[in-house]
Each structure stands twice: as C-alpha cells, then as structure tokens.
C-alpha cells in the first residue's frame, strides 16, 4: 500500500515536471507586437506627418540655435556671449578663441546629423503613399514628396556652406553595404552646388508660393526653394569659392580638385539672376518689407525694424519668406535680459557691431562728417519721431547723461543694442552694468564687454513671471533678398540701377538717409568698390544677429581681418560712471575682453576626427590637420 502511494506521489512530481517542460516550448515565443514598422507608419496620416516632421526637425532655430547650439552669431563679430559660459558647454566660446580642432564637439554636428535627415527623407520618398480614407490625396502625396526633396537639397546646402567638401550621395545606403559603398569620399564643391541649384529650381515649380491652410504655414514653398537657391548661388559666387587659389592642390580621394581656383564672373550673374527671380516671385506672392507708421504718416523706423522681427504674417508681416514656426525664444530672451531683471544677462554684442551702426545722419562713425563724438555724457534726452516706448516713450530715444557714444545713432542701433544706462521699461530703471551693481559683474552672468543684445529680444518677455510672447523664427526675409540682389548685381553689372534702388529701400525703412535721393540724401557711392563697401556695411547693420554675418565674413574672405585679434567692449570691472582712460574704475572706456583667433583654416569647419578615423577616403579640410 505504502509503496504505491509513494509511487503515485513521485509520478505526480514527474508529471508536473514533464508538463512544465512540454507546455513551455512556446514560452519564449514572444515578439513585441506593437513595434512600429515602416509599413504601419505610412498607412496612417498622423504617423506619416510625424515622419515628415522628423525630416524638418533640423531646420535651424534662428533664436537659440544661432546663438547657442549652431553658434553662427557668436562665431561672427556680432555677438558676444559671456565668456564664462564656456563652463556650461558653450563650446562656441572656445571656437572663438582658437580652442578648436577636429575633435572639438559641436552640438549640431551637421556632418553626421544632416545625413540622417537626408536618409529619412529618402525613406519617406520610397514609402509615402495616398491614403484616401484619411484624406491623404495623390496631390497631397506629391506635395509632401516635393517637401522631402526640398529638405534634402536644403540640408545639402547647409552641409556645403559649413564644410565645403562633402560626401555627396543620393538615395539610400543599405546597412549591409560593402565598405566601398559606405566609405565615399568628397565631391567637388561646384558639382553639389549645381545639383542643388537645379533641384531647388525644379521644386519651385511643383510647390506653391503660399498655402491657404493656416496650419501648413512653415511647410516648404516655391519661395523657400528659390530663397535657398539664391543664397547658395550667392555663396558659390563669392570670393571664398570663386577664384580662390588658396585651395589649389586640395583634392579628394579620386584626385579631383574640390574647389575650383579659377574665377568665373558668370557665377555672380547666376547669383544675381537667382535673387531677381526670387524677388519677382516673392513680390508677386505678396511679400514686402514690413513697415509701421507714425501718426503723421511717416515711417516709424524703430517700430518697423523691431516689429518686423515680432509680428506674425497674420498681423501684417509679409517680409518673412522662410520661417521656423517654433523656436527656443525663451532661452534667447532670458539670456539676453539683464541679470538684475530676472534674466541671465550675459548675451552681449561686440564693440565692433556697436561701431558699425550708422549715425542718425546715415554716415559711418569714422566719416569725418558723421558728427560722431565718443567721449562725454549727454546733457539732454534725445527725442525723435517714433512711438517706440522702450525708452520712456514720447519719442524719447536716449536719456540725459547717456554716454555720447550711444547718442545720435541710427534707429537700428537702439533696437539692437542694450547699453549701460539705457532705459529698461519693464524694470522702470536704467541698466546698471557696473561691476557689483544690479546687472553687472563680476559674475559670468553679466555683460562681459558692457553690452547686451536687444535685437530679437521681446521687451515683454518676463522671466520672473514666465511670460514670453510668441513669434516665429525668421530664417530668410525679403530685406536679405534686397541686399543679396544688390550685392550680386554690383559684382556682375556694377551700374545697374536696381543696386541703389534696393539698398535705399532698406535704408528708407531703417530711417537712415538714402544714397542720392530723399531727405538729407548722402552722395551715391562713386565706384563699384565704394558701392561694395556700402552694401557690406548695410548688410552688417541690417542683418546683424540673424545668423548671416558669419557666412558673409567667410564668403568675403575677411575672417582674418575682422575675427582675429583683440575684441573690445566697455570695462567689465568698472564701477564708476566715468570715461577717463586712466581711471581703472571707469566703466566707459574701450577695453579688451577677449582675444579671438581666426586663421585660414577657419573658413570651413573641420570634418569631425571620428569620421576621418572611420572613413579612409575622406580628406580633412585645409588647415585642420
């Protein structure tokens, strides 16, 4: 009896063991069932648009991007972020001062990141399909495909402008591709330009100039295609890559010359033509310079220039050709507002930019007729015909006791520069940049060179209360087209009347006397040379801190002249309102705050060292090895 019972027990145990063993043959047979696949993505309108958004997501952010991540404005001689921010990963400050080599990290890392978007766009082109059930029509699909193609071309132009020599590869690479297929070398610069230029022109025929649906604002348009194309062709015509013999002997792995050293006047003609085409198409689509007017009907240059940056298209701003609807405006505004008002107060601008602004009479400060007076403090407040309210209103532009350097300057100066002693409306006081005072040092969150940027900073941004008025980020506006056109035309057809016309249109809106016409007209620049100088000066001022100056400096090959050497500002350690050079505590004296380094290699970004390491067919850009 007993034995039988034991046996039954044992059999039970064995049975259970056996049961578990057999029933579990499918135990591991599990795969995640909710993993998205490409097929699922393109069956569904929202996921398809998600994919498209992913492609768009590297469109540069002209606010925080140009400032912090991409760093175009600090890299130029416009912007001066607090040098102490290098500690917070602002590698751009090291790059300013020559702490820059192929291993230096640069957050946007275009070399690697843009090809990801390009690949993503090709996957989109291969997979997107109509979906009638969700109202994704054939027509919509062809538009989206054109958008994806636009993004591919646009990203290639960004790569070109950054690195010059890039591996150029259309289509998708297979993950199991052979080493030869993966390790491609660089393509000559002009070849990529030609492809991109043509592609953008082709797309401008497919895409509309504007979308009627409000929610499609920001999607690629024919104007965006032509704008990117015009900018690219202007770049390709410029001295850096047109007739620059410095790159003779710089060849790719196939022995092809990457930058053609022979000058071609046709390139300027093409560039002028591209800008003219853009101008025509943009104007016929209703784009025009943004202007606001005083009660007496005159242009209010202060509000026009300021609000051109803040007003949305539906508020009457037709100047914007290419916008990034969502930008990190919060960080930009906060870093630019004085630390005593709740901001970080260290996003400065250079003395070089301060000096670039014209006087009220339209002349540069080094013009003996300009009436520029640097020393001393004003005896009375300045009042002009404007409704600009940031300096106590009633037309008041500067207050009594303002350092003379800042008086009688053109309107764009006051919209762009926040100087020590300027009125600060939100706080109801003047700025106090003196060391040890509200907005001053010695911390890193203070204007290291005595200025903060005011351009694009919304006066109603209030970091203490978290208010931050919305505005789109402007990547391209009609004002730039005017100056691009004038510049290219001056090089290709020096006496063309359009040159003066479009430069003067810019000056008219800016409230600065024009060349050869209008009130207090200035003499017309007498030669192609003089006109070039005038156009360059106008660009510097009009387009300051819009991410354009660094590109200009590079394509004009003036980096060594303007980005190398001591950079000046006001005396950071000054505690007294004094301009006496011999007083160490005087704030108002030109003082070196940074020594910057720009050498021939800096015209192009270095190819990241890790990529050079991986791909033996790459050649490092000139000067970086």
Partner 1 sequence: MYKLLMTSRKQNKFARNFLCLFFGSLIWLFSSAKPIFDVQKNITIDFNNLPVKQVFKELNTKTGLKFIYSPNDIDDSKRISMSFKEQPILTVLDKIFLSLKVSYTLNDNTIIVKRGSKQALVQEDRLIEGRVLNKRQVALANATVATGLGKNKTSTDDNGQFKLRLDPQDSYFTVSLVGYVSQRVPLKTNGEYTVVLADSISALDEVVVVGFGTQRRASVVGAITTIEPKRLQIGTSRSMSNNLAGQLAGIIAVQRSGEPGYDNSNFWIRGISTFGGSRGPLILVDGVERSLDNMDPEEIESFSILKDAAASAVYGVRGANGVILINTKRGKVGKPNVSARFEQGITSPVQLPKFVGAADYLEVMNSIREERGEQGLYSKERIENIRNHTDPDLYPDVNWLDAVLRDHAGNSRANVSVNGGSDILRYSLVTSYYREGGLIERDEKQAWNSSSRLNRYNVRSNVDINVSPTTLFRLNIGGYLQDRTRAPQSVDELFQEAFTIPPFVHPTIYSSGEIPRTPQRTNPWALATQRGYERISASKIESLFAVEQDLSFWLKGLKARGLFSFDRYSNTSVVRSKSPDYYNPAIGRDENGKLKLVIDSYGQEFLGYEKNSDWGDKSMYLEGAINYVQSFGGHNVEGMFLYNQRNYDNGDLLPYRNQGIAGRFSYNYSNRYIAEFNFGYNGSENFAPGKRYGFFPSFALGWYISEEPFMEHLKSTFSKVKLRGSYGLVGNDKLDGRRFAYITTINETGGYSWGLNNDFKRNGRMEGDQGNSGLTWETVAKSNIGIELGLWKALEFQLDLFNEDRKNIFMQRRSIPGSSGFTNAPWANFGRVNNKGIDMSLELNKQLNPNLFLSVRSTFTYALNKILEQDEPSAVIGTSRSSTGKPIGQLFGFIDEGLFTDADFSDVANGTLRPDIPKHTFGPVRPGDIKYRDLNGDGVVDALDRTAIGGTEDPQIVFGFGSNLRYKAVDFGFFFQGVSRTYRIIGGSNFIPGSANGAMGNMFDNVSDRWTVDNPRQDVFYPRLSDYQSANNNLASTWWLRDMSFIRLRNIEVGYSLPPKLLDHLAIRNFRVFIRGNNLLTVSDFKLWDPELGVNNGMRYPIMKSVSMGLELNFK
Whichever of 86 and 410 has its CB closer to partner 1, that residue is: 86
Q: How far is the CB of 324 from partner 1 (least distance, A)?
A: 8
Whichever of 524 and 597 has its CB closer to partner 1, that residue is: 597
Which of 69, 501, 615, 619 is the binder for partner 1 (CB under 8 A)?
Answer: 615
Whichever of 517 and 564 has its CB closer to partner 1, that residue is: 564
Which of 123, 193, 354, 562 is the binder for partner 1 (CB under 8 A)?
Answer: 123
DSSP class of 366: T
- C-alpha distances (whole Å) from 234 to each of 228, 230, 243 are 10, 6, 14
Q: Which residues neighbour 227 within 8 Å (Cβ) at sequence distance 6 or greater?
A: 278, 282, 321, 322, 476, 481
Q: How far is the CB of 352 from partner 1 (least distance, A)?
A: 20
Lay out the site mask for partner 1 across 536-575 (x = CB under 8 A, - = otherwise).
-------------------------------------x--
Cβ burial of 431 (10 Å; 0-12, 13-18, 19+) is buried
Q: What are phi and psi of 60, to 5 degrees?
A: -60, 145
With beta carbons less than 8 A apart as the criterion, state whether 335 and 446 touch.
no
Choose one: 101-109, 283-291, 392-400, 540-548; the region binding partner 1 (CB under 8 A).
101-109
Lay out the site mask for partner 1 across 206-235 (x = CB under 8 A, - = otherwise).
--------xxxxxx----------------
Containing 348, the helix (H) or strand (E) segment is strand 347-349
Considering only residues 410-439, where is the footprint of partner 1 by CB under 8 A? 435-438
Choose one: 55-63, 222-230, 276-284, 415-423; the region binding partner 1 (CB under 8 A).
55-63
Whichever of 111 and 235 has its CB closer to partner 1, that residue is: 111
> Interface with partner 1 includes 170 (CB under 8 A)?
no
Which of 132, 175, 368, 497 is the binder for partner 1 (CB under 8 A)?
Answer: 175
Whichever of 345 and 511 has its CB closer to partner 1, that residue is: 345
Q: How far is the CB of 179 from partner 1 (least distance, A)?
A: 8
Q: Which residues neighbour 551 within 8 Å (Cβ) at sequence distance 6 or greater?
A: 72, 161, 235
Whichever of 177 and 600 has its CB closer to partner 1, that residue is: 177
Lay out the site mask for partner 1 across 291-330 (x = CB under 8 A, - = otherwise).
---------------------xxx----------xx----
CA quadruple 528, 534, 536, 539: dihedral positive or negative? negative
Which of 43, 69, 84, 328 is the binder for partner 1 (CB under 8 A)?
Answer: 84
Lay out the site mask for partner 1 across 571-600 (x = CB under 8 A, - = otherwise).
--x----------x----------x-x---
Choose one: 167-175, 402-410, 526-534, 554-562; the region binding partner 1 (CB under 8 A).
167-175
Q: How far is the CB of 55 from partner 1 (least distance, A)?
A: 8
Site size toward partner 1 (CB under 8 A) is: 117
- C-alpha distances (whole Å) from 63 to each of 323, 325, 462, 469, 475 are 11, 11, 17, 14, 10
Whichever of 8 and 205 has its CB closer to partner 1, that residue is: 8
Closest CA to 347 of 331, 359, 362: 331
Q: Which two tokens stand for residue 179?
A: 């080493």
383 Cα distance to chain centroid: 34
Considering only residues 504-543, where is the footprint of partner 1 by CB under 8 A? none
Whichever of 123 and 503 has its CB closer to partner 1, that residue is: 123
Q: How far is the CB of 390 from partner 1 (least distance, A)?
A: 20
Whichever of 327 and 405 has its CB closer to partner 1, that residue is: 327
Q: Where are the beta strands (DSSP E) in 33-166?
A: 79-81
Choose one: 50-58, 277-285, 303-311, 413-421; the region binding partner 1 (CB under 8 A).
50-58
Whichever of 118 and 512 has its CB closer to partner 1, that residue is: 118
Q: How far is the CB of 57 from partner 1 (least distance, A)?
A: 4
Which of 449, 457, 612, 621 is the binder for partner 1 (CB under 8 A)?
Answer: 612
Q: How far is the CB of 502 from partner 1 (least distance, A)?
A: 28
With beta carbons less than 8 A apart as the criterion, state whether 439 and 447 touch.
yes
In a 3-state reduction of DSSP, which class is residue 127?
helix
Lay out the site mask for partner 1 across 2-31 (x = CB under 8 A, - = otherwise).
xx-xxx-xx-xxx-xx--xx--x--xxxxx
Q: How far is the CB of 268 from partner 1 (least distance, A)?
A: 31
Q: Which residues neighbour 302 within 8 Å (Cβ) at sequence distance 6 or greater?
A: 384, 386, 387, 388, 397, 411, 414, 415, 511
Q: How much is the CA Rg of the chain, to the nearest whole Å?
A: 29
Considering only residues 326-385, where is the footprint of partner 1 by CB under 8 A? 326, 339-340, 342-345
Q: Which residues neighbour 157 within 8 Å (Cβ) at sequence distance 6 or greater?
A: 196, 228, 231, 232
Which of 129, 283, 383, 470 is the binder for partner 1 (CB under 8 A)?
Answer: 470
DSSP output for 187-252 = BPHHHHHHHHHHHHHHHHHHS-SS-SSGGGTTS--HHHHHHHHHHHHHHHHSTTTSS-GGGTT-B-
C-alpha to C-alpha distance for 483 and 589, rounded to whole angstroms: 34
Which ranges of 390-447 does DSSP label H, i.e. alpha helix? 411-416
Considering only residues 252-291, where is the footprint of partner 1 by CB under 8 A? none
Q: Which residue has the tokens 């002693």?
A: 421
Q: Where are the beta strands (DSSP E) in 358-457?
A: 382-383, 396-398, 417-419, 423-424, 429-430, 451-453
Whichever of 95 and 299 has its CB closer to partner 1, that residue is: 95
DSSP output for 467-504 = B----PEEEEEHHHHHHHHHHHHHHHSTT-HHHHHHHH
């Amino acid at each position: 009896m007993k034995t039988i019972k034991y046996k039954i027990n044992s059999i039970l145990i064995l049975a259970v063991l056996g049961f578990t063993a057999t029933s579990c043959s499918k135990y591991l047979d599990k795969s995640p069932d909710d993993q998205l696949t490409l097929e699922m993505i393109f069956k569904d309108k929202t996921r398809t648009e998600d994919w498209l958004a992913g492609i768009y997501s590297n469109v540069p952010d002209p606010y925080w991007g140009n400032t912090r991540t991409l760093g175009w404005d600090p890299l130029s001689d416009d912007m001066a972020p607090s040098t102490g921010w290098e500690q917070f990963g602002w590698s751009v400050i090291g790059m300013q001062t020559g702490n820059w080599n192929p291993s230096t990290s640069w957050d946007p890392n275009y070399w690697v990141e843009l090809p990801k978007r390009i690949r993503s766009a090709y996957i989109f082109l291969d997979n997107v399909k109509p979906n009638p059930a969700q109202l994704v029509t054939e027509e919509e699909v062809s538009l989206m495909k054109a958008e994806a193609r636009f993004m591919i071309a646009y990203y290639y132009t960004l790569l070109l402008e950054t690195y010059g020599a890039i591996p150029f590869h259309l289509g998708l690479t297979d993950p199991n591709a052979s080493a030869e297929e993966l390790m491609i070398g660089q393509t000559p610069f002009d070849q990529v330009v030609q492809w991109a230029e043509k592609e953008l022109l082709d797309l401008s025929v497919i895409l509309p100039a504007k979308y009627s649906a409000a929610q499609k604002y920001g999607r690629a348009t024919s104007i965006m295609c032509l704008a990117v194309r015009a900018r690219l062709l202007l770049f390709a015509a410029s001295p850096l890559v047109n007739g620059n013999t410095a790159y003779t002997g710089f060849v790719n792995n196939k022995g092809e010359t990457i930058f053609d050293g022979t000058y071609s006047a046709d390139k300027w003609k093409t560039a002028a033509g591209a800008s003219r085409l853009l101008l025509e198409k943009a104007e016929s689509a209703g784009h025009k310079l943004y202007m606001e007017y005083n009660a007496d009907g005159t242009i209010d240059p202060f509000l026009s220039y300021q609000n051109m940056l803040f007003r949305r298209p539906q508020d009457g701003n037709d100047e914007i050709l290419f916008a990034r609807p969502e930008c990190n405006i919060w960080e930009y505004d906060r870093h630019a507002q004085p630390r005593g008002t709740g901001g970080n107060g260290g996003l400065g601008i250079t003395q070089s930019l301060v000096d670039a602004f014209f006087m009220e009479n339209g002349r540069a400060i080094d013009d003996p007729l300009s009436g520029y007076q640097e020393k001393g403090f004003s005896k009375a407040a300045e009042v002009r015909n404007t409704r600009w309210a940031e300096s106590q209103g009633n037309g008041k532009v500067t207050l009594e006791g303002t350092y003379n350097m800042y008086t009688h300057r053109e309107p764009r100066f006051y919209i762009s520069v926040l100087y020590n002693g300027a009125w600060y409306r939100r706080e109801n006081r003047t700025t106090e940049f003196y060391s040890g005072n509200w907005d001053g040092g010695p911390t890193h969150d203070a204007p290291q060179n005595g200025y903060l940027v005011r351009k694009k900073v919304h006066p109603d941004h209030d970091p203490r209360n978290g208010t931050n008025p919305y505005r789109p980020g402007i990547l391209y506006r009609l004002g730039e087209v005017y100056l691009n056109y004038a510049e290219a035309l001056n090089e290709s057809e020096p006496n063309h009347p359009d040159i003066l016309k479009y430069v003067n249109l810019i000056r008219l809106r800016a409230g600065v006397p024009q060349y050869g016409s209008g009130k207090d007209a200035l003499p017309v620049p007498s030669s192609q040379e003089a006109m070039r100088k005038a156009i360059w000066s106008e660009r510097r001022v009009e387009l300051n801190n819009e991410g354009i100056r660094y590109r200009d400096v590079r394509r004009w090959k003036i980096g060594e002249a303007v980005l190398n050497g001591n950079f000046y500002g006001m005396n950071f350690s000054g505690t007294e309102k004094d301009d006496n050079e011999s007083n160490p505590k005087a704030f108002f004296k030109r003082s070196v705050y940074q020594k910057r380094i720009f050498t021939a290699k800096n015209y192009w970004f270095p190819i990241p060292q890790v990529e050079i390491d991986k791909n033996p067919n790459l050649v490092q850009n000139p000067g970086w090895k």
